Structure 1
Amino acid sequence: MRRLYMSPRRWSATALTALTVGTAIAVVPTAPAHAAGPTDHVLYWNDVLIRTFRQVGGSPGPLARAGAMVHGAIYDAANSALCADGADRCIGQPYRTKVAPTAGVRPDLATAIDYAAYDTLRSIWPSINFAADLSTAQQDIPSSSARTDGQRMGSASAQAMISFRANDGSPDTSTYADGTVAGQWRRTGSGEPADPSWGLLRPFAMTSNTQFRPGPPAGYTSYAQLLASKAYADQVNEVKSFGAVNSTTRTADQTQAAWFWANDLNGTYKPPGQLFTHTQIVAKSAKLTQAGNARLFALVGLAMGDAAIVAWDTKYQTSIDLWRPESAIHEPQDDNNVDTKPDATWKPLSADTNGVNFSPPFPSYTSGHATFAAAWAGAMKGFFSTDAFRFVGTTEDPHASGVLRSFTGFSAAATENARSRVYLGVHYQFDADAGMSSGSALANHVTGNFLRPAVPAYAFDGFYEGQVKYDSSYPDGVAGGSMTLTFGLSANGTPVTDLNAVVGVSWNGQPGAGSGAVSVVNGRYQVTILPGKACGLRGQTLSVLLRDGSSRNLFVTCTVV
């Protein structure tokens, strides 16, 4: 428990935002992502990637694979460029390669990122021209040996990734025969079975495709046992009630959450794009450096790339390829369960832009949305060393135009994402639970074994304001005022003054909140924060994220004047 110091000043507290609705979020057209050279090239190419998701559409697996490839290559390129200044400047362990620099040349970091992304994108989608995006990214970078070496490093990093993914099982051209027994998946009119063999794809980080496969639904390995169980009946009846297009059980907020997380339609950024966008929102709030973003987006990308494999392995490669709730509720076949009643008129809430209700064209168990969400949340927690990061998320689903939702942390967002599929009428709750379990275990594996910081652990001498030291609590900030804090770092007894040793800084995980850029003054790191009105007795937290993967937090309570 934090110790709070009392002050003779007047104290007050204000409530934190729970849910807001903002202006409409437009789908970005297929055009270069920026009109001027970007300040952060990792975010720039993530924008290009998400734009391409909208353009190509399709099922989530190939999009997640593309995200893992692009951001894995970007990470290796950025890491190689920074390692050129010495091992203590590396971001972390290489993923596929560490390209050696040319002697006497300091490679340009931005250029390395640009060519890693550009070459990888071209290999994934050879029919799409990304030349304008590359030109925009490079337009402010003058010709030099640094730029030339950065290009070499970026292209080499891309080629290492491209070679690694050659013949990995993509594209998936396999076919799948509809089920013929009760419980087995069959088409519901929304299209051909999507990527039946995606679960056999070569993993990005897992040791095997089945490493994080969940157990069977409700523990049953045969359709007859499952469909006759009370657990199955409870699941069917829940989604029948909460997920119906005309449900009187589902609340307005649950309906909004269902649409907010859907993004199943082509033309949206799809589930992987939504989670990448939420990663951007958090990264900008935390004021991450390009190096920090390179590592964060690679961790998220690798986790989601394998999440698709885990989910599709479970959907198609196990003993139960479970039918969607739509089929379960419609089918008149005898499931030997007196607690389920067929209803041929039932429709899920899920619908296209013409109002035609549909279920996604692949088996229900396990939930891809839930697996992606948990993998994303776990990667975010692993990077930030905390789950308590507040952020406001966006959506591109046309049924939730303009909706923003606020979350107290990564797990809270993932849990809502998973549950939303029941409200949408396309999944059972055990689909969501299994996806969350698999995705969380996968993310822990990724963050525990890949892209680990390569520098020694930093010693931190505490936060100081002038000569006053604060270890973990600042008792008397002024809401609406400012505080300039300093801190010192050392590694193995040697002072560290490299600005890139501080990966990012955030104030209570709030987008747009008041924390300035970090600088180095007289051998010490310095940051100014501007506590807002919400910083009352309940307090808020300044977080500083370091290159060694650790974070340092200062809990601040305030007087409101």
Structure 2
Amino acid sequence: MALTAVSLGTVAAVAPAVPASAAGPADHVLYWNDVLLRTYRQEGGAPGPLARAGAMVHAAIYDAANSALCATGADRCLGQQYRIKVTPTPGVTPDLATAIDYAAYDVLRSVYPQRNFSADLVAAQEGIASSPARTDGQRIGSASAQAMISFRVNDGAPDFSTYTDGTVPGQWRRTGSGAPATPSWGLVTPFAMTSNTQFRPGPPAGHSSYAALLASQAYADQLNEVKGLGRYDSSTRTNDQTQAAWFWANDLDGTYKPPGQLFAHTQIVAKAAKLTQAGNARLFGLVGIAMGDAAIVAWDAKYQTDVDLWRPETAIQRANEDARSDTVADPAWLPLSADRNNVRFSPAFPAYTSGHATFGAAWAGAMRGFFAADAFSFAATTEDPHAVGVVRNFSTFSAAATENARSRIWLGVHYQFDADSGISSGTALANHVTASVLRPTASYTFDGFYENGAKVGTSIPDAAAPSSFTVGFKLTAGSAPVTDPGAVVGASWNGQPATAGAVTFANGRYEIAVSVPKSCAGRTWTFTVLLRDGSRRDLGVRCSTV
């Protein structure tokens, strides 16, 4: 991935002149995330560079959206700047969508200069007529992109380093799936961490030498576990475990790879939560930054520590070299993991720690941080060619991350301590990200919910189902009432099959029309409102059937 500086003076040449009657995307953050995922499929390669690109695109989008909103008043900001808050032009309200478009466009063409994103920009700008607002949105978006591009100059990417294969028992060596992938990625400049080793996991099973690790009972137990569960023709792996192994794989070029799958799941949740465009700018910024650093954490552990651990494929085939009587060599052993032609392979980098587990935990932590809760029911999807059309359902972000980590044992490419350490370090990283960057600067007082104008506090004890009603609430900042519709960034039933309408402001309150289906009867559901200050407010709705 080359990094090319973008001159802010050149972007006007590609500004599309489109009729005001045309229609662009409804949400420009989601639009550019789709462009990013398409680029992942086209580019392929190791997860680190892909995660870096995602962090750059979405952090720049956040800065652009934040700057555009701040220009209308300090109380309208999304929160803290990441790299820059662009100075507003007096008397101009910048176009938010245009600011997002140019931030994404300029970063993408810098990171991927071999690709042409002009058509994507034209499609995004459809329906936005020429105006001072559009011009200022372009200025803000390009300035936000340039701040990001400058930040990443000489950050250690691309990684052209080399690696010498191991020679001692336990040390990683190639398995026929390619040259070592990005061996110095753990040295890339972090996006939010204070150092590359800040969340480095301890050594596998607590052992910092190959001899001590291979002599441990934990090593033997975990090797024998993956030997049984991860073999391509395993008789002990269940059908559901096999499905999950393929579902989370996405190791093949042509898929959106592991970072892309997690971005896709972010989209699924964001749509279910009815997040606004501004809300998505912050959510995807947090997820992008967390995954950008997750790649650094995982690759630091893989290559920059004392143990560059061999994959189960090597360990099982060469178990006669580990000086143990309870691990038996099987030269014919191969993992479930396979390419499109069903040729078995292990990823071309050390096993410890698991990149999938680190990414998944960082994603789950960023989602928990944004939604201020772990519970959210969603139907997750995949692009792995061995799991076409498979959908797996989760009720929490953590459950998805845990299955993602465990799936690598079922796929035959990791040990359980790879997964456990990835979850631990990824979770700690995400907690740091959500506590230290893109923090909201607003603070609202919430006076409780109203149902059809009558105050109900935090619960509706007997809502008729099926039915529709209006939920209302008031917000104040200090002693001043808040009337800005942008103060509400989302409203949902946490993935349950009820509906929430658009946010309006009437009768001195924010109002949202909600509908509950007959299937709600007999249960208490939680209706959630997400606010720009990073808080959430929950309304318990106990349903009865009419």
* Same fold flag (TM > 0.5): yes
Task: Check conservation: 1:285, 1:513, Cα contact below 8 A.
Answer: no
Secondary structure in structure 1 of the residue aligned to 2:352: coil
- 481, 488, 513: which is aligned to 2:467? 481
Alignment pair present for 1:499 and 2:505 = no
C-alpha spacing 1:417/1:222, structure 2 compared with 1 (3 Å): same
Q: Report the equivalent of 1:519.
A: 504
Contact 1:199 1:316 in 2 (8 A): yes
Indicate which of 496, 517, 535 corresponds to 1:532.
517
Distance, in Å, in 1 between the alignment partners of 2:210 and 2:151 is 38
Q: Does the 8 A contact of 2:174 with 2:180 survive in 1? A: yes
Partner residue in 2 for 1:490 = 476
Structure 1 residue runs of 5 or longer lacking an equivalent are: 1-34
- Structure with more contact order per residue of length (Cα contacts < 8 Å, sep ≥ 6): 1
Task: Quote the offset at 1:103 in angstroms.
Answer: 1.1
Cα distance between partner residues in 1 of 2:451 and 2:294: 45
- Do the aligned partners of 1:350 and 1:424 also contact (CA within 8 Å) in 2? yes
Which of these residues, 529, 532, 543, is aligned with residue 544 of structure 1?
A: 529
Contact 2:360/2:426 (8 A) holds in 1: yes
> What SS class does the counterpart of residue 519 from structure 2 fall into?
coil
Give 1:454's aligned amino acid. Answer: T
Q: Does 2:77 correspond to 1:90?
A: yes
Matched ranges for 1:259-278 at <5 A:
259-278=246-265
2:243 to 228, 246, 256: 256
CA displacement 1:196-243 (0-9 Å, x = unmatched): 000000000000000000000000011001001110000000000111
The 3-state SS of whatever aligns with 1:49 is helix
In the alignment, residue 558 of structure 1 is paired with which amino acid? C
Is it true that 1:154 corresponds to 2:112 in the alignment?
no
Q: In the alignment, does 2:545 pair up with 1:560?
A: yes
What is the deviation of 1:268?
Answer: 0.5
Alignment check: 8 A CA contact 1:508 1:541 kept: yes
C-alpha distance in structure 1 between counterparts of 2:297 and 2:319, whole Å? 32
Q: Distance in 2 between the 1:329 and 1:178 partners?
A: 18
CA contact (8 A) 1:371 1:436 kept: yes
Superposition RMSD in Å: 1.0
Q: Distance in 2 between matches of 1:303 and 1:86?
A: 29
Does residue 126 in structure 1 map to residue 109 in structure 2? no
What TM-score, normalized to structure 2? 0.95
Q: Residue 333 of structure 1: CA displacement?
A: 4.1
- The AA in structure 2 aligned to 1:439 is G
Residue 17 of structure 2 aligns with which residue? none
SS at match of 1:461: strand
3-state SS in 2 of match to 1:390? strand
Q: Which of 373, 395, 399 is 1:412 aligned to? A: 399
The 5 Å alignment of 1:399-438 reads 399-438=386-425
CA shift for structure 1 position 560? 2.5
Kindly indicate whether residue 448 of structure 2 is the aligned counterpart of residue 462 of structure 1: yes
Conserved 8 A contact 2:186-2:301: yes
SS in 1 for 2:62: helix
Supply the AA of the counterpart residue of 1:69.
M
Q: CA deviation at 1:479?
A: 2.3
Equivalent residue in structure 1 for 2:331, among 336, 341, 344: 344
TM superposition shift of 1:338 = 1.6
Are the equivalent residues in 2 in contact too, given 1:513–1:532 (CA < 8 A)?
yes
The residue correspondences of 1:137-176 to structure 2 (distance < 5 A) are 137-176=124-163
Q: Secondary structure at the match of 2:492?
A: strand
Measure, in 1, the Cα distance between the counterparts of 2:358 and 2:464: 42
1:272-421 pair list within 5 angstroms: 272-421=259-408
Cα pair 1:97 1:157 within 8 Å, conserved: yes
Contact 2:319 2:327 in 1 (8 A): no
Partner of 2:5: none
Q: Displacement of 1:467 after TM fit? A: 4.5
- Residues 467/530 of structure 1: CA separation in 2 closer, same or farther (3 Å cut): closer
Q: What is the rounded CA distance, in whole Å, between the counterparts of 2:313 and 2:465 in structure 1? A: 53
- How many angstroms apart in 2 are the aligned matches of 1:376 and 1:508? 17
> 2:3 is matched with which residue?
none
- Deviation of residue 332 (structure 1)? 4.7
SS of 2:115 mapped into structure 1: coil
Please tell me whether the aligned partners of residues 452 and 469 of structure 2 are also in contact (alpha carbons under 8 angstroms).
no
**In the alignment, which residue of structure 1 is the partner of 2:57?**
70
- In 1, distance between residues paired with 2:307 and 2:468? 59
- 2:46 aligned residue (59, 66, 75): 59
| Seq. identity, % | 72
Find the residue that maps to 1:477 and give its secondary structure. strand
2:78 is aligned with what amino acid?
Answer: I
Give the letter aligned to residue 286 of structure 2.
L
Q: What is the rounded CA distance, in whole Å, between the counterparts of 1:80 and 1:467 in structure 2?
A: 36
Q: Which amino acid aligns with 2:315?
A: A
- Give the match's secondary structure for 1:170: coil
SS in 2 for 1:488: strand
Structure 2 counterpart SS, 1:408: strand
Tell me how many residue pairs correspond in the alignment: 525
| Cα distance in 1 for residues equivalent to 2:319 and 2:487 | 64
Which runs of 5 or more structure 2 residues have no equivalent in the other structure? 1-21
> 1:481, CA displacement in angstroms?
1.0
Q: CA deviation at 1:102?
A: 1.0
Q: TM-score, normalised by structure 1?
A: 0.92
1:194, distance to aligned residue in structure 2 (A): 0.2
